[in-house]
Amino acid sequence: MIFSQLPTVAALIAAVTALSAQPPAATPTRADILRGAYGPYRANNDLLFYHLDVRVDPEKKFLSGKVTIRFKMLQDATRIQLDLHAALHVDKIVLGDTTLKYERDSGAVFVDFPETLRAGRTYSIEFYYSGNPVETGRFGAITFKKDPAGHPWINTACEGTGASVWWPNKDQWRDEVESMEISVSIPHDLVDVSNGKFMGKTDLGDGYTRWDWLVQYPINNYDVSLNIGNYQHWADRLGDLPLDFYALPENLEKAKKQFAQAKGMLEAYQHYFGEYPFQKDGYKLIEAPYSGMEHQSAVTYGNHFANGYLERDWTGVGISPRFDFIIIHESGHEWFGNSITAADVSDMWIHEGFTTYLECLYVEYMWGRDDGLKYTNGYKSRVRNLQPIITPRGINKEPPQDQYFKGALFLNTLRSVVNDDARWWTLLHDFYQHFKYQNIMTEDVVRYFNQQTGMNLTPVFDQYLRHPALPALELKWDEAAGTVAYRWKADEPGFQMPIRVGTKDHWQILQPTVEWQTMKTPLKKVEFEVATDLYFVTVSKL
């Protein structure tokens, strides 16, 4: 996903409030906990498979269908938790011939079984539902629009709101199905593009056609998508990888030109991380009525068929007009977000910090190290340092915008701490390969980086991710003695991090800790520089 373009009035007020006083965090509501916690009725089972089979009536803005949910029990139990937005009706839930009882509590649906489900066994239930979903959240979650020519144009983008806004599922991040079928029945003159491999379409004989898609990899709920419209399709390949593109007919020529950037993007990311994660499902890029979203193997695009972000030089340093921000950013999520997924919304920087850093890697791959650094540091102006990047767990609370820009600048800092590019590229590649298709937390990232580097990077990760303030390098001169004293000022008691200082042509690496140390320097206070392009820190010359 992408950050909001402009801060809302509420966010500005919150920022001002945070500067003047630190208000206690809002108490999570019962609904937040039901959505965000991995409670006992979620933890007692492991998802294996969904088949979402939905009929979409564009005129009535009405959905009806069923989801087959296959899961393995991890404990003996008689109840599981699923989720469905209160605006949608539960028609019935069945296990074979048995109609199951259920209890609704805000967005949660607790399903009760007449006999104990046994640990280790696999069960399959069918959840029938219908209704008019609400349009809510930043991109509307599910929207029933018309394209400029007046055809229905129906799209989903529900990461913040949750997929249960339009279909029943176990709506959390920790557990994913291993594969999924998506069947979408729509009026015969429209096209549906969903996730995975297109398996074919069937005329239902009543003016509707069913489009069948097969997802052959784990997928998180919010990535599951509908894109229904008067789409034109064209295809290409990158080696063995099928590339499929969809745009409205009026934008076809512009789209063909702009979407050609997908190949260079895929080559760049494959260079750093290895094969595109969803090879069997292919890569799709689909025009949508909002700016864009990383739906797995079916990335949506609404960036005006122009470079930059919504036709602006996004980081303001002259680099972003060279490429289409949405193609590069949203597709980067195929590696970080879709393949590697955070297990709780609290740790969403694993999606957004990494993917923003992937933009920087793309720039470096295309135009070299200097431009990569320039682009990366262009993000500094967007960092606020008001709240920690990692939010409290279990309450479905999305982290602040710093997860993007500060997240990327932190990873750029980590590269300088490792201080060996060959090693850094191996580390990044192996980190991705080690955790691909898994749901992980920050602790897993830190443990891996510590093990692979042999360094104790925990205080560095913690300072950047769990505290609002950047580490501050304090420098104090004694020009008569020709010395400078230095230390880190940081919230983490054991914080220490190497940093390059001196002059651009002759950096030397200091090893400051939180205790004062002194060194000789021929440089005067005004001449003494710190490599702040390589390390995201503040510097105070005392």
**Listed ranges 160-168, 271-279, 346-354, 481-489: which one lies at the site for Zn ion (CB under 5 A):** 346-354
- Nearest residue to Zn ion by CB is 1
In the chain, what's the furthest Cα-to-Cα distance? 92
d(CA 293, CA 298): 9
CB 352 to Zn ion: min, Å: 5
Closer CB to Zn ion, 332 or 372, in the complex = 332
Instruction: Specify the DSSP class assigned to residue 35.
Output: H
Residue 292, exposed/middle/buried by CB under 10 A (0-12, 13-18, 19+)?
Answer: buried
Q: CA angle, 434 as apex, 460 and 422 as ends, to 5°?
A: 65
- Looking at the Cβ atoms of 352 and 492, the one nearer to Zn ion is 352
CB nearer to Zn ion: pick between 352 and 444:
352
Shortest gap between Cβ of 336 and Zn ion (angstroms)?
9
Nearer to Zn ion, 129 or 222 (CB): 222
Residue 1 interacts with Zn ion (CB under 5 A)? yes
Instruction: Return all residues near 2 (Cβ < 8 A) that are at least 6 apart.
Output: 291, 292, 309, 326, 329, 330
Name the minimum Å distance from CB 401 to Zn ion: 11
Running DSSP on this structure, what letter comes out for residue 94? Answer: E
Give the separation between CA 221 and CA 480, rounded to whole angstroms. 65
- Is-contact 505 496, C-beta < 8 A? no
Is the Cβ of residue 194 or residue 338 nearer to Zn ion in the bound state? 338
Q: Which is nearer to Zn ion, 185 or 346 (CB)?
A: 346
Q: How far is CA 5 from its chain centroid?
A: 16
| Token couple for 22 | 């630190």
Cβ nearer to Zn ion, comparing 107 with 292: 292
- For Zn ion, give the closer residue by CB, 70 or 312: 312
User: Please, what is the minimum distance in Å from the beta carbon of residue 376 to Zn ion?
Assistant: 16
Q: What is the DSSP letter of 379?
A: G
Strands 77-83 and 179-187: what pairing? unpaired
Q: Which is nearer to Zn ion, 39 or 160 (by Cβ)?
A: 160
Binding residues for Zn ion, total number by CB under 5 A: 3
Q: CB of residue 411 vs Zn ion: minimum separation in angstroms? A: 14
CB of 172 to Zn ion, least distance (A): 19
Measured distance CA(262)–CA(243) in Å, rounded: 9
Q: What is the rounded distance in angstroms from the CA atom of residue 331 to the CA atom of residue 359?
A: 10
Q: Which residues between 249 and 278 bind Zn ion (CB under 5 A)?
A: none
Instruction: Find, among 467, 456, 458, the residue nearest to 489 by Cα.
Output: 467
Q: What is the DSSP letter of 378?
A: H
Q: Which of residues 198-237 bind Zn ion (CB under 5 A)?
A: none
Interface region with Zn ion, contact rule CB under 5 A, candidates 41-49, 352-360, 361-369, 496-504: 352-360
Q: Does 326 bind Zn ion (CB under 5 A)?
A: no
Residues 293-312 vs Zn ion: string with x where CB under 5 A? --------------------
Alpha helices by DSSP H, listed for 221-279, are 252-259, 261-273
Between 1 and 93, whose beta carbon lies closer to Zn ion? 1
Q: How far is the CB of 355 from Zn ion (least distance, A)?
A: 5
The residue (of 355 and 401) whose beta carbon lies closer to Zn ion is 355
Question: CA–CA separation, 331 vs 64, rounded Å?
Answer: 31
CB neighbours (10 Å) of residue 419? 12
Using CB under 5 A as the binding rule, the residues of this chain from 355 to 384 that contact Zn ion are: 355
Pairing of strands 232-238, 517-520: unpaired
- Residues forming a β-bridge with 100: none
Which residue's entry shows tokens 């977000």? 337
Least distance CB 490 / Zn ion (angstroms): 28
Considering only the stretches 284-292, 319-327, 349-357, 481-489, report the one whose residues sit in contact with Zn ion under the rule CB under 5 A. 349-357
Phi, psi of 517 (to 5 degrees): -130, 160
Tell me if 350 contacts Zn ion by CB under 5 A.
no
Spacing of C-alpha 341 from chain mean position: 8
CB of 356 to Zn ion, least distance (A): 7
CB of 406 to Zn ion, least distance (A): 14
**Residue span binding Zn ion (CB under 5 A) among the ranges 50-58, 140-148, 344-352, 423-431:** 344-352
Q: Provide, rounded to whole angstroms, the least separation between the CB of residue 139 and Zn ion.
A: 13
**What kind and span of H or E run contains 233?**
strand 232-238
Q: Specify the stretch interacting with Zn ion by CB under 5 A; choose among 75-83, 213-221, 351-359, 363-371.
A: 351-359
> Where along the sequence are the contacts to Zn ion (CB under 5 A)?
1, 352, 355
